[in-house]
Amino acid sequence: MLHRISTASTRRPWLVIGLWVVLLIGGALVGQMKLYDVTTSDTGGFLPSSYESARATAFGEKHFGVVKGATAVTALVKRSDGRPLTPADQARVATLTGRMADWRPDWSAIPHSFGLNDDEQGARALKAATGPAAGRFELVGLQFKGNSTDPTVQKAFKQFRSATAHAFAADGLTIGFTGGIASQTDYTDSTRATTQLEGILLLAAIALLTLVIFRGVLSTVVPLLTVVLVAGGASGAVVLAALAFGFHLDSSTPTLIQTVLVGIGIDYFLFMTFRFRERLRLGESGREAAANAALRVAPVVASAALAIVAAFATLGLARFGQFHVLGPSVAVAIVVMLLAGVTLVPALLAAMGRKLFWPSRSWERSREDGPAARLGSLVARRPARVAVLASAALVAVAVFAIGGKMNYDLATVPKDTAAGRVQTEISRILPKGVTDEQQIYVRSSTPLTASDLKPMQQRLSRVDHVAAVSPPRFAAGGRAAEVDVALDIQATSTDALRLAGADGPLRSAAHAGAPAGAQALVGGTASIFADVSSSINDDLRLIFPVAALLILLILVLMLRSVVAPLYLLLAVGLEFAATFGAAVLVFQHGLGEKGVAFTLPLVLFLFVVAIGTDYNILMSHRLREERAAGASNRDATARAVRQVAPAITAAGLALAASFGTLMLNSDTGTKQMGFGMAIGILLASFVVSTLLVPAVTTLAGSAAWWPSRAGDATPDAGLPRLEAEPAPRMAVEASGD
């Protein structure tokens, strides 16, 4: 079935190309228009309702005006002349603050996305969150509704900030904003140049790599344009799926998917192009070579893509919503890339033919004594030595994973931005947590009074790192109360999460101090992230083994073997441990970070293990193919490494460059993710797939393919048989390994 689809694409290549271009451009346009309708920056919104912080947030929305989908912003108000605020000034602050809730954006001045209206976006002002600090300034707590990563919402906030500044200036006051949409807007503006540079370097790295490998004009331009177009269309498919099924994505997910798709797309293009070049060297026409390349590589691409889909499909078992929707989202995108890999890419190769490599003629000759050939000979002659050295190198780095710590304090607010300067000014006088207070909600079946809550307030004030406890606010006729707590540490720090966790002293004090017959619920950033941590840990214990089992099953079906899949899975497991160990070594020990990003283990497991499996499938498939063609065990290894290692290393470099551009990002979590995935892919391509896997396969001999026999038909049995490749027999001498 698969080979028929691929070969059919080579018969009418321009028709296939035209259909794909229309679909991909349409999908990319729809994705851009609707992207911010299906993304959210509200991490707490992904928590299951069984967690206390989620119940606390829902309680706040119901009784205390917490706006769902809004970001908390803190405004700093002071006199323009720097003098202390007078009672008259404070009265004007209260008046001006009250008017904020009536503000609406001027949409005529903002080119906004479809579906955006002033009932959905805007400011919701609350009463001043804290009183004046030493009489010099006053803080106002605001909620600004809208996706804080949406450029349209950011433009609306800039309108609000400008209009508010003019209104306060008329009364001799100044106002500045920090936190939430204010910090995100300034962060986006300050990193725009870096973000653009990331994209340029990504495309330039891929273009340079393909130019060096194939030395042709079209072979440099066509792969790049293809994967960018397919990645855009696939992202559009993800957005459409989210709209159709009514789920939301984390705001960072589309960028991550886009980067991954570009890298994976280049992998699949290179896999097919290297085999296409082999067939051209045999004297086949462009269409014949494309059809025969697709015949051999399409099953490999399909298996590789399905390994990634299977790994991410396990996220559907997660309780944490961000992971739960990430799985199907990536699966949809990878399926689009898979379809393009087995139809669009063969069609492009058939249409381009030999012109793909113009003006170079070097592709017509295969170097029999090149680096890949020498490497293949080495692995075939010394398999035990190669396997031991490769394993030892991975283990040496993997040991650092043992001391790895998770870091949740990843918030980045550049100090040289307006929001950063406001935050710095507030922090000079007030505790760090005053701009991100933790909410303690109390619900009761009978009306509560301020005196009823004093014991709880006293308990809370004695908890370490609690700097201030606010007077209570009441709602629902006294049956609902809110007490805000300001910490003297960042709410996203590890200490804060430990403080507000399920068994932490903050929750214990709130629960124990609640009035008789009432229940206390702890909300706020620290509590939310503590529950997120707990949810993620629970999910990982389930996802890791299930994902590994699914990948093992795909390997068994692909290779029709039980033995080889077992050591292939062990190899990628060691690769994962080494990758995580490298991240811990660099960031935690080398750069002195508190730890690595709490999402890093899952991201590395899914991407590095799944993509590493891709390379292992490509190498193992060729090893078995050579054995089935009649080559001896060591000759098969030498020939497979000579033919496949260049494709794997080229693909690995392209993907590592793709992920590596994320290291330019100023966000700590993104930077660590880029480093980890780049290192993981390099280990997969240069160590595991080109050294360890062929070496172990050589040592295993025919047993690697048990219960089938090495001389049985290749995994693509039943497909039209290709003539044997006229590659000279490698001189492989016997050794004691």
- Taking only the tens place, the pLDDT of each residue in 590-615 is 888 888 887 788 778 767 777 788 78
Taking the C-alpha atoms of residue 72 and residue 67, their distance in angstroms, rounded to an integer, is 9
CA 346 – CA 348 distance, rounded (Å): 5
Which of 58-62, 191-195, 327-331 reaches the highest mean pLDDT?
Answer: 58-62
pLDDT value of position 575? 92
Residue located via tokens 């400008």 = 162
Measured CA to CA, the distance from residue 727 to residue 403 in angstroms comes to: 49
Question: Would you say residue 709 has pLDDT above 70?
Answer: no
Which residues lie below 8 Å from residue 477, measured CB to CB, with a gap of 6+? 447
Q: Is the pLDDT of residue 382 over 70?
A: yes
Mean of per-residue pLDDT scores for the chain: 80
DSSP 438: E
| pLDDT band (50, 70, 90) for residue 317 | confident
pLDDT of residue 132: 44
Tokens of 248: 């939301």
First and final C-alpha spacing in the chain = 42
- Provide the CATH number for the domain formed by 421-529 in this structure: 3.30.70
**pLDDT over threshold 90, residue 358:** no
Domain residue limits, the chain: 1-37+215-366, 69-186, 369-420+536-717+730-737, 421-529
pLDDT tens for each residue of 26-82: 878 876 776 666 666 555 555 667 788 888 888 988 888 666 666 778 888 888 888
What pLDDT sits at residue 723? Answer: 40
∠225-230-232 over CA atoms, to 5°?
95
* CATH number of this structure's domain 369-420+536-717+730-737: 1.20.1640.10
Q: What is the per-residue pLDDT for 320?
A: 67
Question: Could you say which architecture CATH assigns to the domain 1-37+215-366?
Answer: Up-down Bundle (1.20)
Distance between CA atoms of 705 and 561, rounded to whole angstroms?
5
Confidence category of residue 121, pLDDT binned at 50, 70, 90: very low
More confident residue, 307 or 219: 219
Same fold across 69-186 and 421-529: yes
Tell me, what's the pLDDT at 451? 92
Please indicate whether residue 455 or residue 117 has the higher confidence score (pLDDT).
455
Residue 367: what pLDDT? 63
122: confidence class by pLDDT, cuts 50, 70, 90: very low
* Confidence band for 543, pLDDT divided at 50, 70 and 90: confident
Residue 345 CA to residue 234 CA, distance in Å, equals 15
Q: What is the mean predicted confidence (pLDDT) over 395-408?
A: 87
Please report where in the chains the tokens 């308990």 appear, as a residue.
Answer: 459
Say if residue 577's pLDDT is above 60: yes
49 vs 163, which has greater pLDDT? 163
Rounded alpha-carbon distances, angstroms, from residue 600 to 402, 608, 676: 15, 11, 8
Per-residue confidence at 722, pLDDT binned at 50, 70, 90?
very low
- Half-sphere exposure of residue 360: CA atoms within 13 angstroms, side-chain side: 18
The DSSP 8-state label assigned to residue 84 in this structure reads: P
**Taking residues 348-370, what's their average pLDDT?**
80
The string of DSSP letters for 514-532 reads SPTTEEEEE-SHHHHHHHH
For the cut 50, the answer to whether the pLDDT of residue 711 exceeds it is no
* Residue 116, pLDDT score: 38
Predicted local confidence at residue 604, as pLDDT = 83
Q: Which of 390, 259, 321 is nearest to 655 (CA)?
A: 259
pLDDT for residue 131: 46
pLDDT digits (tens, 9 = 90+) for 238-271: 777 777 766 666 666 666 777 777 777 887 888 8
pLDDT on residue 247: 64
* Spatial separation of the C-alpha atoms in residues 413 and 363, rounded to whole Å: 50
pLDDT tens digits for range 483-508: 999 888 888 777 888 898 888 999 99
How far is Cα 316 from Cα 124, in angstroms, rounded to an integer? 35
Average pLDDT over residues 332-340: 86
Using CB atoms within 10 A of its CB, is residue 709 exposed (0-12), middle (13-18) or buried (19+)?
A: exposed
- With pLDDT > 90 as the criterion, what percentage of the chain qualifies? 17
Confidence tier at 110 by pLDDT (50, 70, 90): low
The string of DSSP letters for 97-144 reads: HHHHTT----GGGS---TT--TTTSEEEE-S-SEEEETTTEEEEEEEE
Amino acid 718: pLDDT: 38
Q: Is the predicted pLDDT of residue 653 greater than 60, yes or no?
A: yes
Mean pLDDT lowest among 72-81, 548-557, 595-604, 704-713: 704-713
CATH architecture for the domain at 69-186: 2-Layer Sandwich (3.30)
pLDDT of 233 over the 70 cut: yes
- The Cα–Cα gap between 35 and 238 comes to 9
- Identify the pLDDT of residue 107: 62
- What is residue 296's predicted lDDT score, i.e. its pLDDT? 82
The partner residues of 406 in beta bridges, in order of sequence, read 596
Q: What's the longest Cα–Cα distance across the chain?
A: 95
Q: How far apart are CA 306 and CA 323, in angstroms?
A: 19
The pLDDT of 646-660, averaged and rounded, is 81
Q: What is the pLDDT of residue 727?
A: 40
Q: Yes or no: say if 188 and 36 are a contact pair by the CB < 8 Å rule.
A: no
Mean pLDDT of 515-520: 92
Closest CA to 271 of 302, 315, 311, 235: 302
pLDDT band at 366 (very low <50, low <70, confident <90, very high): low
User: pLDDT tens digits, residue range 141-151?
Assistant: 787 777 677 77
Closest CA to 685 of 709, 726, 656, 718: 656
For residue 650, what pLDDT is reported? 82
Two structure tokens written together for 353: 């033919």
In the prediction, which pLDDT does 513 show?
Answer: 92
Higher pLDDT, 458 or 709: 458
* The predicted structure's pLDDT at residue 698: 92
Q: 97-106, 279-288, 639-648: which has the minimum mean pLDDT?
A: 97-106
